[in-house]
Structure 1
Amino acid sequence: MTEIPEDHPRHDSLVTRHRIEDGVDDGITSRQGLIAQGRGEAYDYLLGEETIPSADAAERAAAAQLLTADHPVVSVNGNVAALVPDALVALAAATGADLAVNLFNRTEERVERIADHLREHGASGVLGTKADARIPGLDHERATVDSDGIYDADVVLVPLEDGDRAAALAEMGKTELVIDLNPLSRSAQAASVPIIDNVVRAVPNITAHARDLSEAENAAREECIQEFDREAALRAAEERIRGGMSGGA
């Protein structure tokens, strides 16, 4: 990777772009993932490339949801695996969640590459390779899941936009925590907890909140969940983006 000076004004953005490029070279990320990364960067630019207060509140609520779940699962696609593998492993350790590979452009080779990549970064177990169940209502490979993974989960963290699966999981009665930089996307609109933030900030921040809440009483976690206002969070993010578009953010 080209050496990027620490003081470069686009340092963090350029680093994430190179991670996605490396993911494509390693057979982890699909080429379509390059386009998705660029789209996300555009929204992040309008958000000011920072975690806004409403997103931080959503991340804390997501941490509480994961900690109180009976079977929490973190869904992993190629972009997320390339961008934040260490952070995913840390989140799983902090919350007791399973990591499960789930792909739109699915091949068995790519699933295994992602699973191996996560193991190389410290994951003790990765689901998604058995593919012995399907999410109802989907006709593409996002429907392919493990029966003891996403299919069985009560709380699912979906880090990155995935509109039709988000709706299908909601139909199954699952609590969805969605990281998506576009508050108007189907994913964010379907989520119980929409997290309008960049995944490279959101995943570590959820982990930090989970570590803090792990010492709290169950009542405190439940209060955190009940006090979160999803509509207010979506509205705040949209207002921030529109302000950025008009030069106000």
Structure 2
Amino acid sequence: MSDEVDVPEDHPRYQSLVTRHRIEAGVEKGITSMQGLIAEGRGEAFDYLLGEETIPSADRAARAAAAHFLLGDHPVISVNGNVAALVPEEVVELAEVTGADIEVNLFGRTEERVRAIADHLREHGAGEVKGLTADARIPGLSHERAKVDADGIYDADVVLVPLEDGDRAEALGEMGKKEVVVDLNPLSRSAQVATVPIIDNILRALPNVMRHARDLSGASRTELEAIVAEFDREAALDAAEQRLREGAVADDE
């Protein structure tokens, strides 16, 4: 991004400082909220305990996520303020690789903020960005995240739900959608209800999903379905929790 903070790349907390700056810049641009900074701090603590690396189970989850997206008839990437601020290029590239739609969905929704995020994504190469129409509602939710596009998230069969509150994740699951969740906390509601929980930093998770999607782009439907069937979501959650609690994943090789 052009507005990166001036921190030497060899600084031991370089990535952390850059991440905080991106969200701070997003607040100034009308993309993120002040609450987004709090959420980032919470996630950073979990990432520190994970060793700030992609553990093997998270990489397997990223591969399963790629397979789900390639198998899906209508995959959609849901984008909130922090996602837009942190990984706009990666969102756009993943959508291109997998043929997914991009849709803005916010808890603190205003039309101005949705437009700002859509414009920001277009500045990073996105074509159509959904979320402004908001002509459908997710059943069971009373807040602004219930508002979705009828031809976007509402119609999707696979949804990437990164950095998400758990109630919408639960509601999407009840609609029968396959959910790929990116969350650094394996005990969160989002991770617990996900079809594929990727317990990783979004800065690593999205490039990993994209890499696997490229690798699997020529795979047959049978191969992709085998990858989906072999993925063990409970084992992925357990491995991440073990790393958080013990700092080692002896059984996650």
> Is 1:81 aligned to residue 81 of structure 2?
no
> Is 1:103 aligned to residue 106 of structure 2?
yes
Residue in 2 aligned with 1:137? 140
User: Aligned-pair distance for 1:2?
Assistant: 4.0
Residue in 2 aligned with 1:170? 173
What letter corresponds to residue 108 of structure 1 in structure 2? E
User: Aligned-pair distance for 1:243?
Assistant: 1.2
Residue in 1 aligned with 2:204? 201
Q: Whole-Å Cα distance in 2 between the matches of residues 3 and 154 of structure 1?
A: 42
Q: Secondary structure at the match of 1:151?
A: helix
Residue in 2 aligned with 1:29? 32
Residue in 1 aligned with 2:251? none
> Is 1:113 aligned to residue 110 of structure 2?
no
Q: Secondary structure at the match of 2:8?
A: coil
Q: Deviation digits for residues 182-206 of structure 1, max 9, x if unmatched? A: 0000000010000000001001110
User: Aligned-pair distance for 1:244?
Assistant: 3.1
Q: Secondary structure at the match of 1:157?
A: strand
8 A contact 2:148–2:154 mirrored in 1: yes
User: Aligned-pair distance for 1:218?
Assistant: 1.5
8 A contact 2:5–2:18 mirrored in 1: no
Q: Which aligned runs of 4 or more in structure 1 are off by greater than 4 angstroms? A: none
* Gapped regions of structure 2 (runs ≥ 5): 249-253
What letter corresponds to residue 76 of structure 1 in structure 2? V
* 1:44-63 to 2 correspondences below 5 Å: 44-63=47-66
Q: What TM-score do the two structures reach when normalised by structure 1?
A: 0.97
Q: Deviation digits for residues 160-189 of structure 1, max 9, x if unmatched? A: 132000000011010110000000000000
Residue in 2 aligned with 1:40? 43
Q: Deviation digits for residues 202-221 of structure 1, max 9, x if unmatched? A: 01110000000001121111
* 1:164-243 to 2 correspondences below 5 Å: 164-243=167-246
Q: Whole-Å Cα distance in 1 between the matches of residues 159 and 186 of structure 2?
A: 18
Q: Whole-Å Cα distance in 1 between the matches of residues 233 and 186 of structure 2?
A: 11
Residue in 1 aligned with 2:74? 71
Q: Deviation digits for residues 73-127 of structure 1, max 9, x if unmatched? A: 0000000000000000000000000000000000000000000000110001100
> Is 1:5 aligned to residue 4 of structure 2?
no
Residue in 1 aligned with 2:149? 146
Q: What TM-score do the two structures reach when normalised by structure 2?
A: 0.95
* Gapped regions of structure 1 (runs ≥ 5): none
Question: Quick one: percent identity of the two aligned structures?
Answer: 73
Q: Whole-Å Cα distance in 1 between the matches of residues 188 and 164 of structure 2?
A: 7
What letter corresponds to residue 88 of structure 1 in structure 2? V
What letter corresponds to residue 186 of structure 1 in structure 2? R
The count of corresponding residues between Structure 1 and Structure 2 is: 245
Q: Secondary structure at the match of 2:155?
A: coil
User: Aligned-pair distance for 1:142?
Assistant: 0.5
Q: Secondary structure at the match of 1:156?
A: strand
